[in-house]
């Protein structure tokens, strides 16, 4: 089994423990409130990458009904569907996910920490194509100069990747620009949130006064 499959398998095998831990950690109310405070459009189109058991989906759905969550763990998606009846969730890996078009917000809470640089770059390219002009990509990650970390604990064996905001910036396709980065210390580790905004390079009204 390769590293990606091993990580996904660990989330499946230990889904019960993971869900318990996830609910104990609590909903990202503040982040979600902040993200949606920037929206003017009613019912914005939102995609959540690595949505896990749908804990944060429940909060996001207070701000929009146009939501799609994806995660590679079948067991966590099963729980997300149970917890959020009637809501769209897809089982998919980051590098296989077909992004919908005309998205206003892409959110990845502590999930792209399982994506190596090659996968992360592909996600950024696809996110760029998927976002509307002015659309936002919110990412939270554990901070550290890019490297792979294998962790073996009660949740099985999982491979994580550390990034700095600069590492992410170095992979950005032309139209995605860094808007904001913020650092937090959580459970003895340093984390950051990064927002990227899509600014179309081609603007047919440019130069027409």
Ligand X SMILES: C[S@@+](CC[C@H](N)C(=O)[O-])C[C@H]1O[C@@H](n2cnc3c(N)ncnc32)[C@H](O)[C@@H]1O
The site for ligand X (CB under 6 A) is made up of: 4, 7-8, 11, 22, 50-52, 71-73, 76, 93-94, 109-111, 114
Closest CB to ligand X among 11 and 137?
11
Nearest distance from C-beta of residue 191 to ligand X, angstroms: 11
Q: Which helix (H) or strand (E) holds 15?
A: helix 15-25
Nearest distance from C-beta of residue 190 to ligand X, angstroms: 16
Measured distance CA(165)–CA(163) in Å, rounded: 7
Closest CB to ligand X among 123 and 196?
123
Task: Give Cα separations from 168 to 123, 124, 145, 192, 195 (angstroms).
Answer: 11, 9, 10, 11, 11
Nearest distance from C-beta of residue 42 to ligand X, angstroms: 25
Measured distance CA(198)–CA(177) in Å, rounded: 6
What's the burial of 159, exposed, middle or buried (CB within 10 Å: 0-12/13-18/19+)?
Answer: middle
Nearest distance from C-beta of residue 19 to ligand X, angstroms: 10
Closest CB to ligand X among 71 and 104?
71
Closest CB to ligand X among 8 and 124?
8
Phi/psi zone of residue 102: left (φ > 0), alpha (ψ -120 to 50 degrees), beta?
Answer: left
Nearest distance from C-beta of residue 176 to ligand X, angstroms: 20
Closest CB to ligand X among 66 and 71?
71
Phi and psi at 86, nearest 5°, equal: 80, 0
Q: Are strands 131-142 and 189-198 parallel, antiparallel or unpaired?
A: antiparallel
Closest CB to ligand X among 7 and 195?
7
Q: What share of the chain is helix, strand, coil (3-state, %, to 5)?
A: 35, 35, 35
Nearest distance from C-beta of residue 11 to ligand X, angstroms: 4
Q: Which of 169, 156, 79 is nearest to 117 (CA)?
A: 169
């Amino acid at each position: 089994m390769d590293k990606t499959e091993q990580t996904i398998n660990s989330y499946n095998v230990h889904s019960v423990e993971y869900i318990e831990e996830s609910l104990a950690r609590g909903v990202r109310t503040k982040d979600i409130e902040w993200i949606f405070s920037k929206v003017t459009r009613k019912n914005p189109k939102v995609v959540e990458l690595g949505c896990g058991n749908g804990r944060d989906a429940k909060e996001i759905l207070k701000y929009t009904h146009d939501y799609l969550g994806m995660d590679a763990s079948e067991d966590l998606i099963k729980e997300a569907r149970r917890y959020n009846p009637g809501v769209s969730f897809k089982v998919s890996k980051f590098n296989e996910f077909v992004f919908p078009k005309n998205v206003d917000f892409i959110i990845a809470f502590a999930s792209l920490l399982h994506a190596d640089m090659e996968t992360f770059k592909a996600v950024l390219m696809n996110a760029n194509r998927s976002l509307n002009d002015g659309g936002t990509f919110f990412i939270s990650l554990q901070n550290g100069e890019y490297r792979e970390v294998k962790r073996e604990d009660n949740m099985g064996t999982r491979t994580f990747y550390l990034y700095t905001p600069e590492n992410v910036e170095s992979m950005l396709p032309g139209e995605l620009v860094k808007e904001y980065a913020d650092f937090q210390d959580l459970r003895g580790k340093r984390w950051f949130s990064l927002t990227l905004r899509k600014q179309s390079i081609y603007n047919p009204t440019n130069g027409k006064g």
